[in-house]
Structure 1
Amino acid sequence: MPSPAPLQPLLDTEILRSFVAIAETESFTQAASEVFRTPSALSMQIKRLEEQVGQRLFLREARRVSLTAEGEAMLGYARRLLKLNQEAISHFTAPELEGTVRLGTPDDIGTRILPQVLTQFSRSHPAVQVNVLVGRSADMLQQFDAGKLDLIMVTTGKQGRPARGEVVHNEPLVWAGAQGGIAVTQSPLPLALASQGCPWRKIALEALDHSQHRYRIAYISEHCAGQEAAMQADLAIGPFPLSLTQPPLQQLGDEYALPALGDYQIAMLYRGEEGSATQVLAGHVRAAFRARRR
């Protein structure tokens, strides 16, 4: 009878947590403050991990550290293992939640994080029903104030301006148009915008009004999907989040001398007692945006 294969050593989740922190901050010092350890303790942990897997995981440079190819592969495994570990603990320790959460979001926000948020939330709290309403930020605020929604995500104005709620995301707003398109060369500039009350629209029009560009509002849509369609068809250009400006759209560069738009923000507003389904769902939303910044 053949001898059983030797058991492989298990990866330590505490070391994996330190590894992920270093990979994301590109600094032992910054990572140490996040995991409440000293940089020397983290260095020892990484040395143990590298010895365990027999691979070098980091390149140490003068001002930063970066992942090797093996480190990139380890990062994917580490994130999945830590996520699975958290799901297992939550399954047995989290209080059983029930009821309904009424969630409101504009379509541009919902398409980015809702699939991830709803999947993870339903796994840990299957007894909670989430009702989703998609609409304009202004409408979400009205319904929230009227007590018809429990948690909303809304688009707000430029960075530095006071916003209601908790800012969970900050991102550059850029001019976007069709790849190789000619709409950007026309005068007056044809614009594809959302309807009145949209912060993107307000930011873009204020920037153009302070510049020398002549423009006309060519297309208006209640949802960013309609705005995006007009830009893809090369019928207009418009303000769009950098992360959503993907082919067949492109960011319009400095050669067109368009005014800078700066950043915009996404804020989250919610109500509910500590530990309620609404507050737990808010935590999932917060984590989803944090993960997108990595």
Structure 2
Amino acid sequence: MTIFPMLNPVWIQTFATVAAARSFSEAGRQLDLSQSSVSDHIRRLEQSVGRRLFIRDTHSLSMTPDGEALLVHARLILEAIARAESQFTAPRLRGRVRLGTSEDLAQGPLSGVLSAFRNTHPDVEMEITIAMTSKLYELMDAGSLDLMLGKRRQGDRRGVALFRGSLEWLARPGTMVDLSQPLPLILVHEPSVTRSVVLDTLAKAGCQWQVVCSSSSHSGCLAAARGGLGLTVRSRYLYGEGVAPPLNWERLPALPEVEFISLSARRLSQPAETLLRLLQKSDLRAASSRTAG
């Protein structure tokens, strides 16, 4: 019987990375591959499945409907491979792991990674703290956490990069922003990496704004945006349903990328080290609410 390598895991990993990065060159950087190797993986995968997965021109990269359908399966395949590798390569562990994570990551696929870790290492106790990234840095510096996942703080070069994501303006679907008025902002309380980035961007662009709503959580900001109170901001990979970029988003100041990182204590227990490796191998970018994020 002939077995065709239709869903070669290497090609699938490349495909999922390109889909998330929306760039062959950026995917190559993340995977430590040349752009020609990335293109070859995608070409061979498209030939194997007999479908076109991406539409490319000189300025943009988008997914075809077949590409979107395959991406759903690709995530499941990669998660299954990671779980299998973890189960059969890791020793039976005991102990405790103190993990801190920002709320936006906790609302994404992090739960699936933690579930896989728990299933493989049922004797490890998990202690999870969900807080603003600034608070997580404080807890790390105080020795209260083993690991943290969050945004890279400006000027802080510690940590291992997980992924980068451009911040996007979000509001109730169908919103047209009145650009003759100060921008109505919905932001998390200080201190906040995202809040600082947004206000710095607006100040440099010479824009006027008014903070119409503040919240202690990203969930509160999204709820206020769904209610039509104003504009909020979140990474394109991590926002959920019920919000969308304003109809005239192109006329708003372009927001920069933020980098999500993992940061670990200097000395890690074996359970914490094992979880860290799993987190760094996993794709923590949540499926966005619109094509290409």
TM-score with structure 2 length normalisation? Answer: 0.72
Question: 2:130: which partner in 1?
Answer: 134
Cα offsets for 1:161-184 (capped at 9, x unmatched): 653211212101011111133665
Instruction: Go from structure 1 to structure 2 and tell me whether the alpha carbon gap of 1:183 and 1:83 turns closer, same or farther (over 3 Å shift).
Output: closer
Q: Deviations over 1:72-130 (max 9, x none)?
A: 98887787567556644543442111100001112111111321111110122111111
AA aligned opposite 1:140:
L
Instruction: Please report how far the alpha carbon of residue 251 of structure 1 lies from its aligned counterpart in structure 2 after TM superposition.
Output: 0.9
Q: In 1, Cα distance between the equivalents of 2:175 and 2:252?
A: 15
**Alignment correspondent of 1:112:** 108
Q: After superposition, where does 1:21-100 map in structure 2 within 5 Å?
A: 21=13, 23-24=15-16, 56=50, 84=80, 87-88=83-84, 90-100=86-96
Question: 2-side partners of 1:81 and 1:11: how far apart?
Answer: 16
CA distance in 1, matches of 2:81, 2:286: 20
Is the 2:55–2:64 Cα contact (8 Å) retained in structure 1?
A: no
Q: Is the CA contact 2:176–2:246 (under 8 Å) kept in the aligned structure 1? A: no
The aligned residue for residue 227 of structure 2 is: 233
Question: 2:171 is paired with a residue of what secondary structure?
Answer: strand
Matched, 1:209 2:203: yes
Q: Partner residue of 2:12?
A: 20
- State which of 140, 147, 167 in structure 2 corresponds to 1:144: 140
**Bigger radius of gyration among the two:** 1
Equivalent AA in structure 1 for residue 128 of structure 2? V
Taking the TM superposition and a 5 Å limit, the aligned residue runs for 1:245-284 are: 245-254=239-248, 257-271=251-265, 276-284=270-278
Contact 1:21–1:34 under 8 Å retained in 2: no
Describe the superposition over 1:37-57 as per-residue Cα deviations: whole angstroms up to 9, x where unpaired. xx8xx99xx79x96xxxx747
SS in 1 for 2:278: helix
| 2:166 match | 172
- Of stretches 220-229 and 245-254 in structure 1, the one that deviates more from structure 2 is 245-254
Give yes or no for contact 1:152–1:269 (8 Å, CA) kept in 2: yes
RMSD of aligned residue pairs (Cα, Å) = 4.2
Distance 1:61 1:89, change over 3 A: closer
* Letter matched to residue 103 of structure 1: L
**Between the two proteins, what is the percent identity of the paired residues?**
23
Cα–Cα, structure 1 residues 235 and 182, in superposed 2: closer, same or farther, change >3 Å? farther
> Which blocks of at least 5 consecutive residues in structure 1 are unaligned?
1-7
1:178–1:232 CA contact under 8 A, matched in 2: yes
- Partner Cα separation in structure 2 for residue 71 and residue 229 of structure 1: 31
- One-letter code aligned to 1:280: T
- CA shift for structure 1 position 238: 2.0
In 2 relative to 1, CA 188–165 (structure 1 residues): closer, same or farther, beyond 3 Å? same
Q: Give the alignment's TM-score, normalised by structure 1.
A: 0.72
Q: Which has the higher contact order (CA 8 A, sep 6+)?
A: 2
Distance 1:208 1:144 in 2: 31
Which residue, 117, 122, 128 being the options, matches 2:118? 122
Q: Shift of the alpha carbon at 1:284?
A: 2.0
Retained in 2: the 8 A contact 1:56–1:70?
A: no
Counterparts of 2:260 and 2:132 in 1: how far apart (Å)? 13
